[in-house]
Amino acid sequence: GYTNGDVKLGLKSKVNTSSQAASHKATVNYSGIEGVGIAVEVDQDVAGKLSVTKDKYELRVPFSKDGGVNPDDVQLRMKWSQDL
């Protein structure tokens, strides 16, 4: 990956040597807003997800080239833990 200030770029490629199939994914992360994380992942088929995080919450918005954003697939997640 490459980082410059508040922006981090990444590119991941996978190649199956048996089938000669390849997949690619690009990631962009932005952390310039204090306490808020923004990330976008896109694969070679122009499908992926947009994530916005704040504290223990994450909003995930999957998208695709053909279908755009399906509101039924949007998720609001909360991470939590409890000591036992």
The 10s digit of each residue's pLDDT in 26-70 is 999 999 888 899 999 999 999 999 999 999 999 999 999 998 999
Reported pTM? 0.77
Collect all residues with Cβ–Cβ distance below 8 Å to 42 and sequence separation of at least 6: 25, 26, 27, 48
Given a cut of 90, is residue 84 above it in pLDDT? Answer: no
C-alpha distances in Å from residue 19, one per residue of 11, 13, 62, 82 = 21, 15, 28, 45
